[in-house]
Structure formats: structure tokens, C-alpha cells
Amino acid sequence: MRLIPRGRRATTAAAASTLVLALALGSQAMASPAPDAPTETAESSAAAQTPRQYQVSGLSSPEERTELARAGAAIDEVHGDSVVITADRSEAERLRALGYELAELPSALDDDPTAAAPADYHTYEETLAAVDAAVAEHPDLVSSQVIGESYQGTGIVAVKISDNVGVDEDEPEVLFTHNQHAREHLTVEMALYTLEELTSQYGSDPEITELLDTREVWLIPSANPDGKTYDTESGSFRNWRKNRQPNSGSSAVGTDLNRNWDYEWGCCGGSSGSPGSETYRGPSPESAPETVVIADFVRGRVVDGEQQITAHIDFHTYSELVLWPYGFTYDETAPGLTQDDADAFEALGVAMADTNGYTPQQSSDLYITDGTINDWLWADQGIFSYTFEMYPTSSLEGGFYPPGSVIDRETSRNREAVLMLMEYADCVYRIIGAEAEYCSA
């Protein structure tokens, strides 16, 4: 996709004047609106609903961060005594009213000519074209299927990569999901990298050849095509996270797909019940069609009572982290997650992080989340499920919108970790030497 800076520039004057108006209204004006306050125009309303990033200072523990998350903020970065969040204007004001100290961060949404344009990132359409090209080039190795539709009726696609791809062989299956969060475009590039690397190296790289001869790989390049397209279709970034499903009784659009999964949904203050929140969990588990499509796909991989998928990575940006369950509790062990499970999760998580330089940790070390794909895949399906938060580590390096020049480096950075997950897919417990106990036939 080539987004033309001209397009962004053309909207700048209007956007800037709206911003000035909004700033002039300020927080005092909001507290007691003047009787002659100008009526909100469609434009100023759009600006007010465009989420942006804020630094929130004075938070240093998981408990303090969870309290902020409980208030509905999406936490983008965790530092020693501060975090970076995404919020729209009204949410930011609400958090300030709760006593949080918010400082607006500069953003790629501003008219900064040095900020990354989404040029060089594939649109969803271009992503599907790349998948089709791979299928055409390697028909015995790659197949693709539409596994269902997004809210707006866009096909969600699963790509299979394996020897004898047309046959459902008795081989451990591995799943990679991408782009639950709309603005995390680098994750779609990660899917295309994996597709390209596995297919181009099959038959020449012995490790990849062996793995594809003995594993079946599933890639879902975008779990949220509506959100992805919405985020860039105007020619400037919208900083969009959720899907594009309307919410009844609210003008706020979208559900956070990674809070909509059906395990301990909404249990623990790790998501929001307010449609306007960036972490809105939806009215019920699997209320988002995108969640249902992927959950049904996974449930469909149960053959003769046995889940075929053993290992999974859900790709996100950003922060350079390897995360594992549970997210809903701080505890290392909990119902359905024994000490051996926790040890295996940690050992493989640490080993993968050794290859890409990310920081490995249980996800609740950051803050509590509930209704995530990782918790559901583990607790409900018994799949060793990780989240990778890709490049960068901070908003200063582009945050959700790093320049296209980093794509090759930051996708290939995960080559060894992806292959390692595939390697251990026959028995993840092997990494703690417990294969006899857990994996003998």
C-alpha cells in the first residue's frame, strides 16, 4: 500500500483547527460547559473519538497498572514508574477525573513529516493476494481457506503449510494468529514473512524441510480485517484497536477482540464493560464474529476427541515481549495450570526470548487481562499459547507505526523462535524433560 503524504496533508488544516478548538475547550470548560459552547460538529466529534497516546506517571506495580486497566485504559507500554496508554479524549478526561496524571504524547497522527506513513505495509487485500500467490507457487505445500467472516463480511483466512498439504496428516499442528488489534500492522507482515520463509526454504533448508514434513502449520494473517482496513483507509492513521462492530445503545464502535474469549471472561478487572473503552470486552463472550470464527476453527481441529493444535503464538505490537498465561490471575499456578505446565510455559518462553531478545514473562506481570486468546486456548483447548509483542519498545521508535524500513529486520528477528515453537510442538513438556510423563503414546 502507498499512502500518499499529500492525502494526510490535505486534512491537516481542518484537523489542526479542530484540535485548537478542542484544546481551547480544555478541562475547565468541560467541567462547566458555557451556555454558548459551539455545537459539536461531525469533524470535532471524529477528532474527539480518535484515540491517542498518553504517558501516565506514578504507577510502578502490576496492581497499580491493573487498577488503571480496570478503569478501561489500553496499556501500550510498561515502564518502571509510568505507563503509556491509548485513550480517546473523553476517556482521558475521565481518567484525569479519577486522579491520574496524563501527559499527551506526540503521535504519528500529528502532522509530523518524519512520522511513518503506512506505506510498505500490506493492506488486507494485498495480504490475501500474497497468500494466493504462495498457494499458486507451492500448491503441494500451501493451501488457504476462508474460515468465516468479520462483522463487515470480510473473509477471515487460514493458510495451511505442510508437506502433502491437501491431506490432513497425523502431524502436530501449530497455529499462528495475527492482528487481533487493528493498528498492529507489523504483525500481518510477520505472517507474510513466515509464509515466505517456510515456502521459499522448503527443500533447501534442512531444518525447515524436516519441520514441514512433520508438522502442519496454520497461519491466520489477520483476525481483524475490518479494523485493519479502517485504521488506514482514510490515508492517515486512526490508532484503531478494536473490531468495527457497532454497540447497541452507544455511539462507540468496536470490541477488543483480545478481551472477548470465553474463559473467565470479564472476571477480574482485566477488561472493560463500557463500549467506549479501548478494552471493551463485548456484551458476552464470543460476541464478536471474528472471535467466533477463530474459536470455531480451533474447535474444529479436535479430531477423534484430540485437539491437534499443540502450540500457538498470537502476534501483537509493541514492547518486545514473550508472554504466557494466565493473564486473569497473578498466580503462577491456577485451575488447569499446574506447576509442570507453568514450568514448561516459562522454559519455552525463555528459550524463544533468548533467540529474539524479547523480555519473557507471565502476562499478568504486566497487568491483569481477562478474556484473552491465550487463556482460552490453554484452559479450554490445552494449547501452549503465547503472545509475542513485536518491535518497538517505545512510542519514540514509532510505537504502533514504525517505518516500513524495519519490517524485514523485525519479522526475520522471530525466525528462530517460530521454528523453535514448531520444533517443540510434538511435546512441549520435552523442554522440561517430562516427555515420558506427558507425551508417551
Nearest residue (CB) to ligand CXA, 308 versus 411: 411
Q: Which three cell numbers stand for residue 282?
A: 463485548
Q: Is position 181 an interface residue for Zn ion (rule: CB under 5 A)?
A: yes
Shortest distance in whole angstroms from residue 387 CB to ligand CXA? 4
* Residue 327 binding: pick among ligand CXA, Zn ion, Ca ion, none (C-beta 5-8 Å cut-off by kind): ligand CXA
Using the rule CB under 5 A, give the single segment among 18-26, 58-66, 126-134, 311-319 that binds Zn ion: 311-319
Q: Is position 316 an interface residue for Zn ion (rule: CB under 5 A)?
A: yes
Handedness of CA 243, 246, 251, 257 (dihedral sign): negative
Footprint of ligand CXA on residues 47-76 (CB under 6 A)?
A: 74, 76
Nearest residue (CB) to Zn ion, 160 versus 316: 316
Q: Is position 327 an interface residue for ligand CXA (rule: CB under 6 A)?
A: yes
Write the binding mask 347 to 366 for ligand CXA: x where contact by CB under 6 A, - elsewhere.
Answer: ----------------x--x
Handedness of CA 297, 303, 304, 308 (dihedral sign): negative
Catalytic residue among 264, 286, 389, 423: 389
Pairing of strands 384-390, 309-317: parallel
Give the C-alpha separation, 28 to 26, whole Å. 6
Other C-beta atoms closer than 10 Å to the C-beta of 382 total 14
Q: Given candidates 44, 123, 329, 387, which one binds ligand CXA under the rule CB under 6 A?
A: 387
Q: Given candidates 316, 341, 370, 420, which one binds ligand CXA under the rule CB under 6 A?
A: 316
Give the C-alpha separation, 427 to 214, whole Å. 13
Using the rule CB under 5 A, give the single segment among 24-32, 83-91, 140-148, 181-189 that binds Zn ion: 181-189
Q: Is position 185 an interface residue for ligand CXA (rule: CB under 6 A)?
A: no
* Residue 416 binding: pick among Ca ion, ligand CXA, Zn ion, none (C-beta 5-8 Å cut-off by kind): none
Using the rule CB under 5 A, give the single segment among 95-103, 224-232, 286-294, 313-321 that binds Zn ion: 313-321
Pairing of strands 302-303, 321-324: unpaired
Alpha carbon distances (Å) from 291 to 35, 55, 148, 298, 323: 45, 30, 10, 11, 20
Shortest distance in whole angstroms from residue 161 CB to Ca ion? 9
Nearest residue (CB) to Ca ion, 177 versus 308: 308
* Residue 363 binding: pick among Ca ion, ligand CXA, Zn ion, none (C-beta 5-8 Å cut-off by kind): ligand CXA
* Residue 163 binding: pick among Ca ion, Zn ion, ligand CXA, none (C-beta 5-8 Å cut-off by kind): Ca ion
Q: Which three cell numbers stand for residue 217?
A: 502449520
Q: Is 316 helix (H, G, I), strand (E, B) or coil?
A: strand
Handedness of CA 270, 274, 277, 281 (dihedral sign): positive
* Annotated catalytic residue 389: yes
Sequence-separated contacts (24+) of 62-68 with Cβ below 8 Å: 62/330, 62/364, 62/365, 62/366, 62/367, 62/368, 65/366, 65/367, 66/269, 66/270, 66/367, 66/368, 67/269, 68/95, 68/100, 68/367
Peptide bond into 193 cis (omega under 30): no
CA 299 to chain centre: 21
Shortest distance in whole angstroms from residue 316 CB to Zn ion? 3
H/E segment holding residue 155: strand 155-161
- Residue whose grid cell is 505442510: 162
Q: Is position 181 an interface residue for ligand CXA (rule: CB under 6 A)?
A: yes
Shortest distance in whole angstroms from residue 140 CB to Ca ion? 10
Q: Which residues bind Zn ion (CB under 5 A)?
A: 181, 316
Q: Which residues bind ligand CXA (CB under 6 A)?
A: 74, 76, 181, 258, 316, 323, 327, 363, 366, 369, 372, 374, 387, 389
| Positions marked catalytic | 389
